[in-house]
Amino acid sequence: MFINQSTLTRVGALRWLDRLKEAPPAFTACFTPSMTGTEIEKMLLEVLDRGQLLGEIAGKVEKSPTGAVVFYCMDKTYVTWPPLPVTEKQLIRSYDAGLLKTMLEHDWRLALLLVRLGHYAIGVFRGETLVEGKAGTGLVHARHHKGGSSANRFRRHREKQMEYFFTRVEIHAREVLEPRIKEIDYVIYGGARDTLQVMWKQCSFFNSLQNLTIGRLLSVREARRSSFEEAAKQAYTSTVYEITE
């Protein structure tokens, strides 16, 4: 069993879907992110025998934060993690890229919240076009690795800096997002998960966005206004696992 992973931009994914027509897959399966491993396997067993291939496909599908679209082509199987959540489960005994193409072609209203300690950038996008954005900074010292009482004082001081920084991020997130909250389709975060988890625990506003929030994180080195363009492109990228028996 050989597995090759690739990342496709929105344009690249649409071209790839068109190329699949040349040797149409035997079936297409769409899985929502809420489906359990048992549910995934049960659906696949309608078209596949139990074995290593079924296990590989089910494992990849279950790990996706946005659900998955699977194309089975006899000698190769493609497990696609789309950029946005799959909203309905389907099993089609032919090639059908309609759900995925519709997702990729539509210009969604996305809220991107990029946070790194000391920097943040918050933007609302229509497709990949920035509608409104705000970026800023806040002083947060790097970790202190020495021990002793001075290190404890530094740790408490750093925690206060982080608390103040996250409060600033929350205030500006409210300013940008609250007037448009009814228009926003999805919220996507970017940055380090451990940093974001501290912020989510502290700031109640971000908890109110959970129903709109996608489980995937954008990989951003910096959280600045200059990061918006790359982050918006990344918000529409798909991951494809090509499984060859």
- Return the percentage of the chain with pLDDT > 70, whole number: 91
**Of the candidates 131, 71, 126, 134, which has an alpha carbon nearest to the alpha carbon of residue 236?**
126
CA 90 to chain centre: 21
What is the pLDDT at residue 160? 81
Confidence of residue 164 (pLDDT cuts 50, 70, 90): confident
- Burial (Cβ within 10 Å: 0-12, 13-18, ≥19) of residue 30: buried
Model pLDDT for residues 193-217, shown as the tens digit of each residue: 999 999 999 999 999 999 999 999 9
Report the pLDDT averaged over residues 155-180. 87
pLDDT tens-digit readout, 96-155:
999 999 999 999 999 999 999 889 999 999 999 999 999 998 755 555 555 545 556 656
Report the candidate in 3, 4, 70, 80 with the shortest Cα–Cα distance to residue 41.
70
Q: Of 39-43, 55-59, 159-163, which gets the smallest average pLDDT?
A: 159-163
Q: Provide the pLDDT for residue 237.
A: 97
User: Is 242 in contact with 236 (CB distance < 8 Å)?
Assistant: no
Q: In a 3-state reduction of DSSP, which class is residue 120?
A: strand
Closest CA to 188 of 142, 141, 228, 159: 228
Which two tokens mark 94? 């032919």
Domains, the chain, in order of start with CATH, read: 2-106 (3.30.960.10), 109-234 (3.30.420.60)
Q: Specify the range with the lowest mean pLDDT, choosing from 25-29, 83-87, 212-216, 220-224.
A: 220-224
The token duo for 238 is: 């798909």
**Is residue 188 within 8 Å of residue 212, measured between CB atoms?**
no
As a whole number, the mean pLDDT across the chain is 91
> In the predicted model, what is the mean pLDDT of residues 175-181?
96
Q: How far apart are CA 127 and CA 201, in angstroms?
A: 30
pLDDT for the residue numbered 44: 96
Residues 179-195: pLDDT tens digits? 999 999 999 999 989 99
**What residues contact 172, with CB distance under 8 A and at least 6 apart?**
120, 122, 134, 136
Is the pTM higher than 0.95? The answer reads: no
